Amino acid sequence: MSRNTQHLMLFCTAVVLFVTACLYGQQNVKILSAALNDRVQTTAGMEGRLTTTLRTTNPYQYNGAEVLHTVRQMTGTGIPVEVDGTSYVIDPLVSKTATIPVQLDATYRPEFIRNETGELLKIVFWKEASVN
């Protein structure tokens, strides 16, 4: 077989494989689209029997647990976190028993201090007075 014939056969095989892959991908998109449309119709047909369990607080108020979580999450980022004017850095790998004097049922107002480019410099939490 000549060299040109071999190249022609390889090119034709590549074209056939490419077209087959494109058709297979198109078929997969159709199947996924049909499944998504079916899921949307099923969810819409539930008529409010679906309820969410995730509740978020007011974005301008954090509870004590959210403050503790934020302080632990910001450890190692280089961004200082202050609670009522006192700066805290807790590394759970160094000290697992380190605590922050935060009341879990109290509400805290966050202040996000940024520079002129919008980069976060510091997070400050201030305890709000309870209204009874």
Cα 124 from Cα 110, distance rounded (Å): 6
Are 47 and 66 found together in one domain? no
Are 117 and 92 found together in one domain? yes
Q: Is 132 inside a domain boundary?
A: no
Report the predicted TM-score, pTM, of the whole model to 2 decimal places. 0.48
Say how many domains are in the chain.
2
> Mean pLDDT over residues 41-50, rounded?
68
Domain enclosing residue 81, as ranges: 62-127
Are 46 and 78 found together in one domain? no
Using one digit for the tens of pLDDT, what is the confidence trace for 55-82?
555 567 888 888 888 777 776 677 778 8
Q: Is 56 inside a domain boundary?
A: no
**Mean pLDDT value across the chain:** 80
In the chain, count of helices (H) and strands (E)? 2, 5
Q: Is 45 inside a domain boundary?
A: yes
